[in-house]
Amino acid sequence: MRRRPPIYGLLAEFDDVNDLVRAARTARAAGFRHLDAYTPFPVEELAHALGVRPSRLPLVVLLGGLAGGLAGYLLQWWTAVVAYPINVGGRPLHSWPAFIVPTFETTVLGAAIAAVLGMLALNGLPMPYHPVFNVPRFALSSRDRFFLCIEATDPLFDREGTRRFLERLVPRQVSEVEH
């Protein structure tokens, strides 16, 4: 097993979203792979710049919806045909048109719960502790500052060399992130 690096990584702070996108591209082009960027609002270009793959969330939502719909329909069929059959003038017990509305609702319910829990789970939330919060200035990432973090697990990471590399990207400042 590899030894844990002495620090979590190096965090560069930028004033402008364009500077961050440019820095992210440069870092990626320089061969860094264990990168993350932190922004106060979603920036689509960053995901491209850092090569983030599209998430599997849509598949999770599809499965949630299918499970919800199936469970809803089966519940109604079982209730109306097996558990509590009501004979209404000899009409079929399996009266599927009447079951469509609740089936639709349970489909949406299953899909929506899957979307929210899936998003949180894939994002690893709730997460009570994360090293980036050890940098006091990181609090500004939810206000008006943009951060690029090169993590120490990156094969190219070198405490001094990477810091010099980041400083060439003209950030506002570069800080070390403690574990």
36-53: b or e for each residue (b if 16 or more CB lie within 10 Å)? Answer: bbbbeeebeebeebbeee
Smallest gap from Cβ 87 to other proteins, in A, equals 12
Neighbours of 173 (CB within 10 A): 12
Q: How many helices (H) and strands (E) does the chain have?
A: 5, 4
The distance of closest approach from Cβ of residue 5 to other proteins in the complex, given in angstroms and rounded to an integer, is 19
Whether cis (ω within 30° of 0) applies to the bond prior to 92 is no
Minimum CB distance to other proteins, residue 3 (Å): 25
Q: How far is the CB of 147 from other proteins (least distance, A)?
A: 9
- Residues engaged in binding other proteins (CB under 8 A): 16-18, 21-22, 25, 36-47, 50, 52, 54-55, 57-58, 61, 65, 72, 75-76, 79-80, 83-84, 86, 88, 95, 98-99, 101-102, 104-106, 108-109, 111-113, 115-116, 118-120, 122-123, 125-130, 132-133, 138-144
